Amino acid sequence: MSEALLTPYPFIKVALPVPMRTLFDYKVPKAIALRHELKPGMRIKVPFGKSTRLGVIVALSETSDWDPAQVKPLTSLHDESPVITKELMALCEWAARYYHHPIGDVIFHALPVLLRKGENAEFRTENWWLTTPEGQKLPLDQLSRAPRQQDFLKAVQQHPHGLSQHAASVLDLAPAAGKSLEEKGLLRREPRSFNKGGEKHAHQTQVPPTLNPEQAIATEELLDSRHHFNVALLDGVTGSGKTEVFLRVMERLIEEGKQILVMVPEIGLTPQTLKRFEIRFNTDIVLMHSNMSDRERLDAWLLAASGHAKIIIGTRSAAFIPAPNLGLIVIDEEHDTSYKQHEGFRYHARDLAIKRAQSLDIPVLLASATPSYESLTNALQKKFTWLKLRKRAGNAHIPEMERVDLRGKTLIHGFSEHALASIKLCLDRKEQVLIFLNRRGYAPTLMCHQCGWIAACDHCDVNLTVHKRANKLHCHHCDTQKALLHTCPECQSEELFTVGEGTEQVETQLSTLFKDVPILRIDRDSTQRKSAMVKLTQKIHEHDQAILIGTQMLAKGHHFPNVTLVVIMDADAGLFSSDFRGMERTAQLVTQVAGRAGRAKKPGHVLLQTYHPDHAAIECLCNLGYEHFAIDGLAERKSLSLPPFYHQVIVRAESGNEQEAMQLLSAMRNDLEPLFAKDVYLVGPYAAIIVRKAGQHRALISIKSAHRAPLHQATQMMTDWLEQSTRQHKIRFAIDVDPLET
Residue 393 or 457: the one with the smaller Cβ distance to ligand ADP is: 393
Q: Rounded to the nearest 5 degrees, what angle is found at the Cα of 514, between the Cα atoms of 511 and 519?
A: 50
> Under DSSP, is residue 161 helix (H, G, I), strand (E, B) or coil?
coil
**Measured from the CB atom, is 102 or 239 closer to ligand ADP?**
239
> Could you count the other beta carbons within 10 Å of the beta carbon of residue 69?
6
CB contact burial 584-613 (16+ within 10 A = b; e otherwise): bbbbbbbbbbbbbbbbbebebbbbbbbebb
By CB under 6 A, the residues from 197 to 236 that bind ligand ADP are 209-212, 215, 236
Q: Residue 554 Cβ, how far from ligand ADP at the closest point, in Å?
A: 14
The minimum distance between CB 452 and Zn ion, in angstroms, equals 7
| CA angle centred on 616, ends 614 and 617, rounded to 5° | 115
Site pattern 388..427 for ligand ADP (x: CB under 6 A): -----xx---------------------------------
From CA 603, how far away is CA 594, in angstroms rounded?
A: 12
State how far the alpha carbon of 48 is from the alpha carbons of 16, 75, 119, 634, in Å.
9, 10, 20, 50
- Interface with Zn ion in residues 240-259 (CB under 5 A): none
Q: Is the dihedral of CA 638, 640, 646, 649 positive or negative?
A: negative
Query: Which residue number, 207 or 483, has a Cβ lying nearer to ligand ADP?
Result: 207
Nearer to Zn ion, 32 or 478 (CB): 478
* Residue set of the binding site for Zn(2+): 448, 451, 457, 460, 475, 478, 488, 491
Which segment (78-86, 240-248, 285-293, 417-425) binds ligand ADP by CB under 6 A? 240-248
Q: Which does 448 bind (CB under 5 to 8 A by kind): ligand ADP, Zn ion, none?
A: Zn ion
Helix (H, G, I), strand (E, B) or coil at 293: coil
Tell me which stretch binds ligand ADP (CB under 6 A): 176-184, 217-225, 242-250, 638-646.
242-250
The residues, ordered by sequence, that sit 6+ positions from 330 with a Cβ below 8 Å of its Cβ are 246, 250, 260, 261, 262, 263, 364, 365, 367
At its nearest, how many Å lie between ligand ADP and the CB of residue 365?
12
Q: How far is the CB of 580 from Zn ion (least distance, A)?
A: 26
Nearer to Zn ion, 323 or 466 (CB): 466
Rounded to a whole number of angstroms, the CA Rg of the chain reads 29
DSSP state of 263: E
- Could you tell me which of 460, 525, 547, 449 has the C-alpha nearest to residue 491? 449
557-616 positions binding ligand ADP, by CB under 6 A: none
Amino acid at 178: G
Least distance (Å) between residue 557 CB and ligand ADP: 8
Q: How far apart are CA 585 and CA 582, in angstroms?
A: 5
DSSP E strands: which ranges in 406-459?
432-436, 445-448
Quick check: 241 binds ligand ADP (CB under 6 A)? yes
Angle at 265 between CA 534 and CA 568, to 5 degrees: 75
Ramachandran assignment for 185, one of left (phi > 0), alpha (psi -120 to 50 degrees), beta (any other): left
Closest approach of ligand ADP to the CB of residue 390, in Å: 11
The Cβ of residue 547 has, within 10 Å, a number of other Cβ atoms equal to: 25
Q: Tell the smallest beta-carbon distance from residue 15 to ligand ADP (Å).
A: 39
Q: How far is the CB of 216 from ligand ADP (least distance, A)?
A: 9
Task: Output 56 or 329, the one with its CB closest to ligand ADP.
Answer: 329
- Contact by Cβ (8 Å): 622, 401: yes
Please, which residue, 212 or 657, has the CB nearer to ligand ADP?
212
C-beta of 215 vs 526, nearer to ligand ADP:
215
Size of the site for Zn ion (CB under 5 A): 15
Shortest spacing between CB 95 and Zn ion, in angstroms: 31
User: From the list Zn ion, ligand ADP, none, which binds 504 (C-beta under 5 to 8 Å, kind-based)?
Assistant: none
Question: Is 243 a binder of ligand ADP (CB under 6 A)?
Answer: yes
Tell me the site size for ligand ADP, rule CB under 6 A: 15
Binding site residue list: 448, 451, 457, 460, 475, 478, 488, 491
Residue 337 neighbours by CB under 8 Å, 6+ apart: 585, 740
- Rounded to the nearest whole angstrom, what is the least distance from the CB of residue 562 to ligand ADP in the complex? 13
If one counts every other C-beta atom within 10 angstroms of the C-beta of residue 164, the result is 18
Task: Report the residue number, 335 or 356, with the smaller CB distance to ligand ADP.
Answer: 335
90-98, 341-349, 449-457, 680-688 -> range binding Zn ion (CB under 5 A) = 449-457
The item of ligand ADP, Zn ion, none sharing an interface with residue 242, based on CB under 5 to 8 Å by kind, is ligand ADP
Query: Given candidates 149, 150, 164, 240, which one binds ligand ADP under the rule CB under 6 A?
Result: 240
d(CA 251, CA 261): 13
Question: Does residue number 242 form part of the binding site for ligand ADP (CB under 6 A)?
Answer: yes
The correct pick among 135, 239, 363, 550 for binding ligand ADP (CB under 6 A) is: 239
Q: Which is nearer to ligand ADP, 276 or 524 (CB)?
A: 276
> Pattern of binders to ligand ADP over 283-322, x per CB under 6 A?
----------------------------------------
Residues 6+ apart with CB under 8 A from 70: none
Q: Which of the listed partners (Zn ion, ligand ADP, none) does 491 bind, with a CB threshold of 5 to 8 Å by partner kind?
A: Zn ion
Residue type, 56: V
What minimum distance in Å lies between the beta carbon of 158 and ligand ADP? 30
CB of 179 to ligand ADP, least distance (A): 43
Q: CA 126, CA 122: separation in Å to the nearest integer?
A: 12
Any contact of residue 491 with Zn ion (CB under 5 A)? yes
Rounded (10°) angle between helices 213-224 and 242-255: 40
SS3 content of the chain, % helix, strand, coil (to 5): 35, 25, 40
Q: Quick one: 274 or 478, whose CB is closer to Zn ion? A: 478
Residue 66 CA to residue 228 CA, distance in Å, equals 43
Nearer to ligand ADP, 147 or 208 (CB): 208
9: CB partners within 8 A, 6+ apart: 28, 38, 60, 61, 62
Interacting positions 451-480 with Zn ion (CB under 5 A): 451, 453, 457, 459-460, 475, 477-478, 480
Nearer to Zn ion, 103 or 688 (CB): 688
CB of 523 to ligand ADP, least distance (A): 22
* Residue in 222, 248, 252, 251 with CA at minimum distance from that of residue 234: 222
- Beta carbon nearer to ligand ADP, 370 or 551: 370
Contacts of residue 68, defined as CB under 8 A and 6 or more positions apart, other chains included, come to 11, 27
244 binding ligand ADP? (CB under 6 A): yes
DSSP 123: P
Bridging pattern class, strands 472-474 and 732-737 = unpaired
**Residue 238 contact partner, candidates ligand ADP, Zn ion, none, CB within 5 to 8 A by sort of partner:** ligand ADP
In terms of Cα–Cα distance, which of 557, 596, 581 is closest to 265? 557
Contacted by 243, from Zn ion, ligand ADP, none: CB < 5 to 8 Å by type: ligand ADP
Per CB under 5 A, residues contacting Zn ion are 448, 450-451, 453, 457, 459-460, 475, 477-478, 480, 488, 490-491, 493
Per CB under 6 A, residues contacting ligand ADP are 209-212, 215, 236, 238-244, 393-394
